[in-house]
Each structure stands twice: as structure tokens, then as C-alpha cells.
Amino acid sequence: MTTVIKMIHIKITNIPNGEQSVLINHISSYIQKLDKKPASIEVQDDAINISWEFKDASYADKLYEYLTQTVISMNSTNKENFQY
């Protein structure tokens, strides 16, 4: 029997205040496209914390790849600022 982890916690740091709401909207929209169950997304100082329980284990990798592409394209941070 294989156990599949279906919960992910991601922390993105060093996000300028002006870009936090834009990034949160992007993340929320992408998660809704993958899975109808919404994620918990919280802002704390210059960080965005994401907790998400999902159906398909491949969604974790898809979300991480999306985040790295989106955040880097916004020029607000880089891959080293993710805790995955």
C-alpha cells in the first residue's frame, strides 16, 4: 500500500506589500483551476503562507512550478525564498 501526502504548506518571503494581493489572486485562481477545494492563504509581514489539502498528489509539484514561474516573472523574489 502506498501512502500519498495530500497536504502542502508553502511560505513565500520577501514579497513587497504592493505585490502581495496580486500574487494571492494569481495563486487562488490557479489553485481553483487544479482543484475546487480552496487553499488557506495568509499574509504575515512580508510573507505569504499557503496551506492546501488537495485530491491529486501531482498538484503539489504543479503548484510549486507555477509559483516559481509566476513569482520570478513578477520580479519580486526568487526560488530561494520558497519553503516547500
Name the percent of the chain in helix, strand, coil, to the closest 5: 45, 25, 30
What was the pLDDT predicted at 74?
A: 60
The model's confidence at residue 77, banded by pLDDT at 50, 70 and 90, is very low
Contact assessment for residue 24 and residue 41, using Cβ atoms and an 8 Å cutoff: yes
User: Does residue 2 carry a pLDDT above 70?
Assistant: no
Helix axes 17-34, 58-73, angle to 10 degrees: 150
The model's confidence at residue 20, banded by pLDDT at 50, 70 and 90, is confident
Contact assessment for residue 59 and residue 77, using Cβ atoms and an 8 Å cutoff: no
pTM of the model: 0.71
Sheet with 82-83, strands from edge to edge, namely 40-44, 47-53, 7-12, 82-83
Q: What is the pLDDT of residues 29-67, one digit of tens each?
A: 999 998 888 889 998 887 889 898 887 878 888 988 888
